[in-house]
Amino acid sequence: MSYGFKLACLSLAVFFLVHAVAAIVVNRLAPAAIRIADRMRARCAARFLFAARLAPAAAGFFAVALSIPSYLRFEPRAEIEEQVGWLCLLAAALSVLLSGNSARRAVSAILKSRRWMREREHQGVALAGLIAPRIVVADSVLRALSPAELEVACGHEQAHARSRDNWKRLLMLMAPFSFFRGLTAIESGAKKFSEWAADDHAVAGDPERAVALASALVRVARLGSPATPTLVTSLTEGDLADRVERLLAGVPPAAPDRWTPLAVSLAAIAFAAALAFPSALIPVYDLLERFIR
């Protein structure tokens, strides 16, 4: 087998195996992760669960990012071609199948979202689109809501736009192993807290705005809001009773997120350190050699 083919098989196989192991770990830890999120502010909880859901895929990509330079640096381009073992080939094939299924789900969701946006009659209030998202407000909502209610309802959707929640939904949709119950629960938790975070942003700690948003939720729900595609965030998503009760009880102002930049910085430093010291790649290469045979 050619040098490039072996590298491609190895990269796909490493991604699948590391991703699968990480997915199993996160799936087992899902109840604990959700309990931790329950003690956080809504915005931080949404980002925490989003990161937890993508952590297996991130671990897979990180392993591939270390495997490729170690293979290129230490694997000789020998004239006698080394064969790839059946385990490596099987893992690479499973990686292709999972990636293909994820791509199919993503394309299907994008097409459904585009069809929804082309419809002439929309219901409720929603944020639609990825590249240039826009807020869609039905005529019935314009007639039913007061100016204060309409303003805070649009502020809720603007918060989704600022957080790029439609993009986050797309990434979670593309993440493999969605059949694990724990990962599904993490996705649901991330969506719930993203709605709470958007409520918090729209209200901005003002009790009057909280009452206006609660009233808007009830009025729009009574008008009837059909189910929207996955990549369209609707004002009335989630458990409305919990959201209204939370708004009327008084929500705290949104807190800044300090942990996400820190986590990204630490991951970048770890990857740069591994590349800066080639000797650190030798154990990685030894593992790859054992695996590929």
Measured distance CA(109)–CA(97) in Å, rounded: 19
> How confident is the model over 233-253, as pLDDT tens digits?
999 888 889 999 999 887 555
* Secondary structure (3-state) at 234: strand
> How confident is the model over 46-104, as pLDDT tens digits?
999 999 999 999 988 888 887 777 777 766 665 455 666 778 788 889 999 988 999 99
Measured distance CA(48)–CA(186) in Å, rounded: 10
Q: Is the pLDDT of residue 289 over 80?
A: no
Mean pLDDT of 127-133: 88
Contact indicator for 172, 56 with CB cutoff of 8 Å: no
User: Angle at CA 232, nearest 5°, toward 143 and 222?
Assistant: 35
**Predicted pLDDT of residue 277:** 53
Q: Edge to edge, what strands does the sheet with 134-137 contain?
A: 134-137, 125-128, 232-234
- The fraction of the chain above a pLDDT of 90, given in percent, is 42
Task: Please give the single-letter amino acid code of residue 77.
Answer: R
Measured distance CA(237)–CA(113) in Å, rounded: 16
> How confident is the model over 209-219, as pLDDT tens digits?
999 999 999 99
Measured distance CA(72)–CA(4) in Å, rounded: 10
Closest CA to 46 of 222, 190, 251: 190
Task: Tell me the three-class secondary structure of 108-161, residue by residue.
Answer: HHHHHHHHHHHCCCCCCEEEECCCCCEEEECHHHHHHCCHHHHHHHHHHHHHHH
> How confident is the model over 188-210, as pLDDT tens digits?
999 999 999 999 999 988 899 99
* Secondary structure (3-state) at 233: strand
